[in-house]
Amino acid sequence: MHNKSLSELSASLHSGEFSSVELTQHYLDRINTHNNNLNAFITVCDDRALEQAKMADQQLQQKNAGILTGIPLAHKDIFCTQGVLTSCASKMLSNFISPYNATVVEKINAAGMVTLGKTNMDEFAMGSSNETSFFGAVKNPWDTNRVPGGSSGGSAAAIAARLAPIATGSDTGGSIRQPASLCNLTGLKPTYGRISRYGMIAFASSLDQAGPMANSAEDAAILLNVMSGFDERDSTSVERDVPDYTADLNNSLAGLRIGLPKEYFDEGLDPEVATTIEAAIKVYESLGATIKEITLPNTHLAVPTYYVVAPAECSSNLSRMDGVRFGHRCKNPKDLQDLYQRSRGEGFGDEVKRRILIGAYALSAGYYDAYYLKAQQCRRLISDDFTQAFADIDVIMGPTSPTTASNLGDNIDDPVATYLADIYTISANLSGLPGMSIPAGFVNGLPVGLQIIGNHFDEARLLNVAHRYQQATDWHTQIPAAFK
């Protein structure tokens, strides 16, 4: 059961080959067997999932079911889920039973899907290795001594180990694409504003975007259809029709114009990862695409720009965690200041504190122009690079991550080194562009992801470009030996 695509699962559910309860129980059993080792889930919703599955089975029997009815999924623990712990992997929210649903959760519930549980992540999505979680690190199913990437590392590990057929993630600087790359998955960060942010706990509001993490572009397209759309409860949601993202999957790639930014193949890129990416580009040439070297000359500004903009927004967003209305409160506060300071000091982990401090400093009197304003100007330079590039190409390709998965513990003492590894992914967030990572091969048994970046609202083309590659290759069907 756990090696089927969403379309195959749907067909089996509709034909009665197995029920949603049987399918859900199968995944719950797998979670029960493997989660102790992987730590991919913070919360497993056993009873609730089986209740949802029963309801789905009724809909299936009444022939009142959609393509996703009865199919299980996992939510990153950043999505508020009514009546379920929604911790954002933080001690601060380790007692937060959400009183409401995120729009993404509402939409997925309405589609009849079954929520298996809430997946582990970097605390408040701040990290690229899933090691900043209050609930402990997640292990990469391809090598359990290595990180799964982050921040959506639990979702990535869960799918890679076949503990869930598909999952939600969120991407502020690469948090869907990088773990997808490190765990051999297909992950899509849509255009900013495509999917509602309502109820997705905010990290950096001008960068955060939810998206699907899946075993194939086809699966991702099916879930994206449900997740997307205007939401008046999100002030930056885009009022724009949602196309059927599965409609163009099989379009020919003849004449597709691919740009390869020379800055994405520069020093810092592991030579074996580079070779793997070059081989993937050759496949595209054989599918009829034309390749052109391009330049994104302000790429070197992306990491420093991001590490002003994102912490500034985070310091503002996380000010709501004050120990008054919800979340962790310190014991015996002596006055209101003590209540705020100790509740926050005890509730937040090291990386979150670092980012709050960076943001507070960058926004403080006397430094605003030098840091925040300057970073916003650099953000436009970075975005303008893409506007110029897309004048005569259709998609940009390159590596998602400069290396394969690192060993657990390798980067935890050097934040700057960790930040620099986000070099290829964060520009898409700063520019609001859609980006994908798809499996492109292995180096020493560890997955390598090919990144595809498109123009605004070009998700259908990205999915088409990814799907045709997956028709021609079988990297995305590889499963880690211990989890077959």
Partner 1 sequence: MSLDKTDVEKIAHLARLAINENDIPGYVRDLSNIFNLVENLSYADTNNISPMAHPLDAHQRLRPDVVTETNQRELFQAIAPETADGLYLVPQVIE
Footprint on residues 222-241 left by partner 1 (CB under 8 A): 232, 235-236, 238
- Whole-number Å distance between alpha carbons of 171 and 175: 4
Instruction: Kindly report the backbone phi and psi dihedral angles of residue 291, in degrees, each rounded to the nearest multiple of 5, phi listed first.
Output: -110, 140
Q: Which is nearer to partner 1, 2 or 380 (CB)?
A: 380
Amino acid at 214: A
Query: Considering only residues 14-53, where is the footprint of partner 1 by CB under 8 A?
Result: none
**Calpha distance 480→484 (Å, rounded):** 7
Which residue, 19 or 101, has its beta carbon nearer to partner 1? Answer: 101
441 within 8 A of 268, measured Cβ to Cβ: no
The span from the CA of 135 to the CA of 131, in Å, is 9
The residue within the footprint of partner 1, chosen from 416, 444, 474, 481 (CB under 8 A), is: 416
Dihedral sign computed on CA atoms, order 233, 222, 67, 480 = negative
Nearer to partner 1, 358 or 446 (CB): 358
The question of whether 353 is a catalytic residue gets the answer no
Query: Do the Cβ atoms of 21 and 119 come closer than 8 Å?
Result: no
For this structure, is 262 an active site residue? no
Please state the closest distance from residue 246 (CB atom) to partner 1, in A: 25
Q: Tell me if 375 contacts partner 1 by CB under 8 A.
A: yes
Q: How, if at all, do strands 435-443 and 186-189 pair?
A: antiparallel
Six token digits for residue 154: 């639990």
The active-site residue out of 87, 170, 175, 216 is 175
Among 340, 403, 478, 479, contact with partner 1 (rule: CB under 8 A): 340
Residue type, 381: L
Query: Residue 376 Cβ, how far from partner 1 at the closest point, in Å?
Result: 3
* Least spacing, CB of residue 99 vs partner 1, in Å: 5
291/213 Cα distance (integer angstroms):
27
Q: How far is CA 192 from CA 165, 188, 230, in A?
A: 25, 12, 12
Segment lying near partner 1 (by CB under 8 A), choices 92-100, 147-155, 212-220, 390-398: 92-100
CB of 343 to partner 1, least distance (A): 9
Comparison of 43 and 305: residue with beta carbon closer to partner 1: 305
Phi, psi of 428, rounded to the nearest 5 degrees: -65, -35
Q: Return all residues near 155 (Cβ < 8 A) that are at least 6 apart.
A: 40, 74, 76, 119, 121, 164, 167, 168, 169, 179, 213
Stretch that binds partner 1, among 1-9, 20-28, 90-98, 274-282 (CB under 8 A): 90-98
> Is 437 among the residues known to form the active site?
no
Shortest spacing between CB 122 and partner 1, in angstroms: 16
Q: Which residues is 439 bridged to in the sheet?
A: 449
Catalytic residue among 10, 19, 20, 76: 76
Q: State which residue, 235 or 444, has the beta carbon closest to partner 1.
A: 235
Query: Which residue among the candidates 90, 151, 237, 315 is catalytic per the annotation?
Result: 151
Which residue among 360, 412, 443, 479 contacts partner 1 (CB under 8 A)?
A: 360
The residue written with tokens 């919800």 in the block is 326
Report the residue number, 376 or 471, with the smaller CB distance to partner 1. Answer: 376
Cα separation, 363 vs 373, in Å, equals 9
Q: Are 327 and 95 in contact (CB under 8 A)?
A: yes
Q: Work out how close the CB of 308 gets to partner 1 at its nearest, in angstroms, rounded to a whole number.
A: 6
**Contact string 298-337 vs partner 1 (x = CB under 8 A):** x-xx-xxx-xx------x---x--xxxxxx-x---xxxxx
Query: Rounded to the nearest whole angstrom, what is the least distance from the CB of residue 107 to partner 1 in the complex?
Result: 19
- Segment interacting with partner 1 (CB under 8 A) among 39-47, 120-128, 190-198, 220-228: 190-198
Nearer to partner 1, 342 or 468 (CB): 342
Amino acid (1-letter code) at residue 237: S
CB nearer to partner 1: pick between 16 and 99: 99
Minimal distance in Å, beta carbon 380 to partner 1?
Answer: 4
Residue 75 half-sphere exposure, CB side, CA atoms within 13 Å?
32
From the list 41, 71, 46, the residue with the least C-alpha distance to 152 is 41
Size of the site for partner 1 (CB under 8 A): 77
Q: Catalytic site residues?
A: 76, 151, 175
